[in-house]
Amino acid sequence: MGPFSEKLDSFLDFELPSQIRRLVMKGWPNLRLKSLPQQIQHLTTSLTSLEIDSFDGVEALPEWLGNLTSLNTLSTSQCKNLVSLPAVEVIQRLTKLQELVIEACPRLGGRSALKSGPEWHKISHIPRINAWRLFQSGWGNLTSLTHLRTKVCENLVYLPAVEVMQRLTKIVTCSGRGGRSALLSCPEWHKIFLIPCISSFDRHSFASALITGGLEVRKQEK
């Protein structure tokens, strides 16, 4: 949903489909809005993935995020004034939350700063936390790229955002390690499934292969 104009002072009244599973909220650099649409909080049992991008006016994520009890992935990127996450008791209500991504939110910082800061105790229980102070989507500028291969990347657990991968319109091959069955069930699959040629050789599971050797993918079976 979006991008929203930087001149917008408040959200217009609108309805979201009650069974929506993935929602991407795209703001705009210098957007003055200081809050997210209240309508999101009503997606209590359906929403599994929420991505918040370029809401510069937002300084704190809303407490009503705790209502989204089906949420599996929460991502914030390019929110330059975001400094506070919901209270610890709010985040602990998100019992299905498996992944938190914080990208280019400089006031929260990267993973090291986050771990030593006042927000860490709220999120330290989340299984996967990916945080970068700088924006990692420079991959999307490689618009002539036709082949991507990762190998021996021992700590690789996260791929660029889906909108970044979709900018690589010429890419036809993505290769690395993992097993196809594990890859299909991995939370990163939706970012790459449109690539024509995805090859993969099995080594334990996709998640462990990402950690021990990188991603190799070739889509040979339907």
Q: In Å, what is the CA distance from 153 to each residue of 87, 93, 189, 213? A: 35, 34, 18, 5
29 class by beta-carbon count within 10 Å (0-12 exposed, 13-18 middle, 19+ buried): exposed
Segment 110-120 shows an average pLDDT of 85
pLDDT in the model for residue 48:
94
For residues 32 and 126, membership in a common domain is answered with: yes
Question: Where is average pLDDT lowest: 37-46, 48-57, 164-173, 180-189?
Answer: 180-189
- In sequence order, which residues have a C-beta less than 8 Å from that of residue 73 and are 6 or more positions away? 48, 49, 50, 51, 97, 98, 99, 100, 101, 187
Query: Does a structural domain hold residue 11?
Result: no
pLDDT at 219 exceeding the cut of 50:
no
pLDDT in the model for residue 11:
64
Domain-ending residue, one of 132, 157, 176:
132
pLDDT at 54 exceeding the cut of 80:
yes
Partners of 100 in beta bridges: 74, 129
Number of structural domains the chain divides into: 2
For residues 126 and 41, membership in a common domain is answered with: yes
On the CB side of 118, CA atoms within 13 Å amount to 6
Segment 139-156 shows an average pLDDT of 71
Question: Cα separation of 206 and 188, whole Å?
Answer: 10
pLDDT at 63 exceeding the cut of 90:
yes
For residues 178 and 143, membership in a common domain is answered with: yes
Query: Does a structural domain hold residue 79?
Result: yes
CATH number at residue 35: 3.80.10.10
pLDDT in the model for residue 62:
92
For residues 95 and 79, membership in a common domain is answered with: yes
Question: Where is average pLDDT lowest: 93-107, 132-146, 208-222?
Answer: 208-222
For residues 66 and 41, membership in a common domain is answered with: yes
Question: Cα separation of 183 and 177, whole Å?
Answer: 9
As a whole number of angstroms, the longest Cα–Cα distance in the chain is 51
For residues 36 and 67, membership in a common domain is answered with: yes
For residues 103 and 152, membership in a common domain is answered with: no
Query: Does a structural domain hold residue 2?
Result: no
pLDDT at 85 exceeding the cut of 70:
yes
For residues 114 and 26, membership in a common domain is answered with: yes
Q: State the pTM of this model.
A: 0.59
- Per-residue model confidence as pLDDT tens digits over 148-177: 777 656 555 567 777 777 878 877 766 665
pLDDT in the model for residue 67:
93
Residue ranges making up the domain that contains 175: 138-212
Confidence band, pLDDT 50/70/90 cuts, at residue 134: low
